[in-house]
């Protein structure tokens, strides 16, 4: 199974084959509009502006599984993101990334990557403490731990890297440049 075998839903409910993105470098991100990491939308848009002409796409999948921080309809979420952050990259229908209702794309992503750990920043230390309280073994699974987890996909459809929400966007940018 490859990334190109999956179909996802657009905000308006149409099916889109990820095979449409063959040959591009992709950054797949689960997002939320009411999260402490929501300002990353600005940095994601800057990354998209810089590299989209070189064959780079960001695929944005809103998810309400982490603290219910992505409330609202797909259209309300999109209006917020375009109005507040000016995003122009593709934003898909709200999904589940973990659990029995996780979309197949995210099952594949999480089964083929490992949790990389949070950095030692205050946000990373806080995330570790919160998740450890809920599940002392949280770090042992590949599940998505929070909003703004990013998966970098190469032009051949293979997973190149996984970035946890606390990873520096400079690190993400360097990996995108190398993939292009």
Catalytic: which of 35, 70, 127, 179?
A: 35
Q: Judge whether 37 and 68 are in contact, CB under 8 Å.
A: no
- Residue 73 has a CB neighbour count (10 Å cut-off) of 12
Is 81 tagged catalytic? no
- Residue 139 has a CB neighbour count (10 Å cut-off) of 15
Q: Judge whether 94 and 66 are in contact, CB under 8 Å.
A: no
CA 74 to chain centre: 16
CA angle 112, 118, 121 (to 5 degrees): 160
Active site residues: 35
């Amino acid at each position: 199974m490859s990334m190109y075998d999956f179909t996802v839903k657009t905000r308006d409910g149409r099916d889109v084959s990820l095979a449409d993105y063959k040959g591009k470098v992709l950054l797949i991100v689960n997002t939320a509009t009411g999260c402490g990491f929501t300002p990353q939308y600005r940095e994601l848009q800057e990354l998209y502006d810089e590299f989209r002409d070189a064959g780079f796409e960001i695929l944005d999948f809103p998810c309400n599984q982490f603290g219910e921080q992505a409330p609202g309809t797909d259209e309300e979420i999109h209006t917020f993101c375009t109005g507040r952050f000016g995003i122009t990259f593709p934003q898909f229908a709200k999904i589940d990334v973990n659990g029995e209702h996780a979309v197949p794309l995210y099952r594949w992503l999480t089964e083929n990557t490992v949790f990389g750990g949070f950095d030692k920043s205050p946000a990373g230390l806080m995330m570790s403490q919160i998740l450890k309280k809920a599940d002392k073994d949280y770090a042992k699974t590949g599940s998505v731990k929070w909003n703004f987890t990013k998966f970098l996909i190469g032009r051949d459809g293979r997973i190149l890297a996984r970035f946890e929400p606390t990873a520096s966007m400079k690190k993400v940018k360097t990996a995108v440049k190398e993939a292009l």
